[in-house]
């Protein structure tokens, strides 16, 4: 039987200003109605309510409820009266809403900043009615696809395929002299598996399957440019928001926004690299519930690493950033002596100003993906967030570490992994 449970105390939070309450209930008929009755008795309105299976116990489920404008005395009484096994809360004025499971990413698809089906007047395809109609079709498909749906297949026409072929061929010519060895290895594997070729734009479903079998990453189609917060949040689930439309054929070597060429020829190959995948997911986990200032830092860090990162390899500069590897001109420029190359310092990179309409004057040089991931974990601990999160790869859910039960569960899992490693080392050594 569920009994009222006191909320976990989280310092420096103003519950009255707005909170998300998570009540964990057993699978018993009428439990949700009992919770609703408590809110009614306390005259507290719910602005949003959603339920999901508990990530801690398969026989329980979590009810997540948003409330606003509640005084502290009423809030405390409400929490105490809730007929739940556990109750936790996050103050929404301090902690922005963030996804806890992949189903929540359905909300992120709607958080589009720009482009998609709407094009600016200076966009190469603005006056091309046929191109605009195609973009609308791609955007509609992305908006209507949910996390449980099969990835849709796209029929690209001859003009689109010709644009892909031009870009693919030109960029691949530069791989041996300008791309890092990890990118080249992954790109060659994509070709060997028949996923990539210059004559066919890959189906995102097949690319996603390849990544999932390699590192657990998967693709999710986006209608356009997703906001920084929503885009980074998805990385926590090893999910990459990927556009499906292609740039206008009149400018095959230029696009004002991410397109399928940028995504597949720039981003995707390195998501098949385990250390790079870990680094990308670490940025995503750090973004969950982060302040707006920290989101800006994380987005800037992402810009100077995942988008425009370079590394030193055999005495020379090689690119691993997608913005470089999908740009014929900047890929040549970034490895030259013209721009400034600085050693990668995460705090410096996270606060560095950058242009978005011209080549970068400054690039940060990483020594290895493994060191990047280790440094990021330490750096992210200093961000202004009153809790920690971890990702459960079995349920593909985010666990907020703010209760003793959740922390003990994580410790138990870590101890189990350490026991396995100890036994293996005993045999090896």
Predicted local confidence at residue 3, as pLDDT: 42
So which residues are the catalytic ones? 262, 267, 307, 326
pLDDT tens per residue, range 217-253: 999 999 988 899 999 999 999 999 999 999 999 999 8
pLDDT band for 193, please (50, 70, 90 cuts).
Answer: very high
Percent of residues, the chain, with pLDDT higher than 70: 90
pTM of the entire structure?
0.78
Predicted local confidence at residue 6, as pLDDT: 33
Average pLDDT for 400-419: 72
Residue 51 has pLDDT above 70, yes or no: yes
Residue 2 has pLDDT above 50, yes or no: no
More confident residue, 163 or 126: 163
Long-range contacts of 288-292 (CB under 8 A, 24+ apart): 288/98, 288/99, 288/233, 288/236, 288/389, 288/398, 289/90, 289/95, 289/96, 289/98, 289/385, 289/387, 289/389, 290/96, 290/229, 290/383, 290/384, 290/385, 291/96, 291/383, 291/384, 291/385, 292/96
pLDDT tens per residue, range 287-345: 999 998 999 999 999 999 999 999 999 889 999 999 999 999 999 999 999 999 999 99
Predicted local confidence at residue 379, as pLDDT: 92
Predicted local confidence at residue 384, as pLDDT: 81
Instruction: For the chain, give the mean pLDDT.
Output: 87
Average pLDDT for 124-139: 92
Predicted local confidence at residue 152, as pLDDT: 94
Domains of the chain (ranges, CATH numbers): 19-89 (3.30.70.260), 102-380 (1.10.800.10)
Residue 93 has pLDDT above 60, yes or no: no
pLDDT tens per residue, range 53-86: 765 666 787 888 888 777 878 888 888 898 888 8
Predicted local confidence at residue 403, as pLDDT: 65
Q: Cα separation of 160 and 167, whole Å?
A: 11
As annotated, the binding site for Fe cation includes 262, 267, 307
DSSP string, 75-98: HHHHHHH---SEEEEEETTTS---
As annotated, the binding site includes 262, 267, 307
Percent of residues, the chain, with pLDDT higher than 90: 54
pLDDT tens per residue, range 350-366: 999 999 889 999 999 99
- Which of 148-152, 180-184, 382-386, 399-403 shows the lowest mean pLDDT across its residues? 399-403
Predicted local confidence at residue 404, as pLDDT: 65
Predicted local confidence at residue 178, as pLDDT: 97
């Amino acid at each position: 039987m569920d009994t009222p449970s006191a909320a976990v105390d989280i310092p420096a939070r103003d519950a009255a200003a707005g909170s998300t309450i998570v009540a964990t209930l057993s699978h018993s008929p009428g439990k949700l109605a009992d919770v609703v009755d408590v809110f009614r008795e306390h005259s507290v309105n719910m602005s949003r309510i959603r339920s999901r299976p508990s990530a801690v116990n398969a026989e329980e489920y979590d009810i997540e409820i948003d409330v606003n404008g509640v005084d502290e005395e009423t809030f405390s009484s409400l929490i105490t009266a809730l007929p739940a096994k556990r109750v936790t809360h996050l103050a929404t004025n301090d902690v922005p809403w963030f996804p806890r499971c992949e189903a929540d990413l359905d909300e992120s698809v709607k958080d589009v900043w720009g482009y998609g089906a709407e094009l600016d007047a200076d966009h190469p395809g603005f006056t091309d009615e046929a191109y605009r109609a195609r973009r609308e079709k791609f955007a509609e498909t992305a908006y209507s696809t949910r996390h449980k749906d099969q990835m849709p297949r796209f029929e690209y026409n001859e003009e689109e395929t010709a644009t892909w072929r031009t870009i693919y061929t030109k960029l691949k010519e530069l791989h041996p002299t300008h791309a890092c060895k990890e990118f080249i290895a992954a790109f060659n594997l994509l070709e060997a598996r028949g996923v990539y070729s210059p004559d066919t734009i890959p189906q995102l479903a097949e690319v996603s399957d390849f990544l999932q079998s390699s590192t657990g990453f998967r693709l999710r189609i986006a209608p356009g440019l997703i906001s920084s917060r929503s885009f980074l949040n998805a990385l926590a689930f090893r999910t990459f928001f990927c556009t499906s439309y292609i740039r206008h054929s009149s400018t095959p070597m230029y696009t004002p926004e991410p397109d399928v060429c940028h995504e597949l020829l720039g981003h995707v190959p390195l998501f098949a690299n385990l250390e790079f995948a870990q680094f990308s997911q670490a940025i995503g986990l750090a973004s969950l519930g982060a302040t707006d200032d920290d989101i800006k830092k994380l987005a800037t860090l992402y810009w100077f690493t995942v988008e425009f990162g370079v590394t030193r390899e055999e005495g020379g500069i090689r690119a691993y950033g997608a913005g470089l590897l999908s740009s014929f001109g900047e890929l040549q420029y970034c490895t030259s002596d013209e721009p400034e190359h600085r050693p990668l310092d995460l705090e410096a990179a996270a606060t560095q100003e950058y242009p978005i309409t011209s080549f970068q004057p400054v690039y940060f040089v990483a020594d290895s993906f493994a060191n990047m991931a280790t440094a990021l974990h330490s750096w992210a601990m200093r961000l202004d967030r009153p809790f920690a999160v971890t990702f459960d790869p079995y349920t593909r859910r985010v666990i907020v570490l703010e209760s003793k039960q959740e922390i003990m569960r994580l410790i138990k899992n870590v101890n189990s992994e350490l026991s396995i490693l100890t036994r293996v080392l005993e045999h090896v050594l």
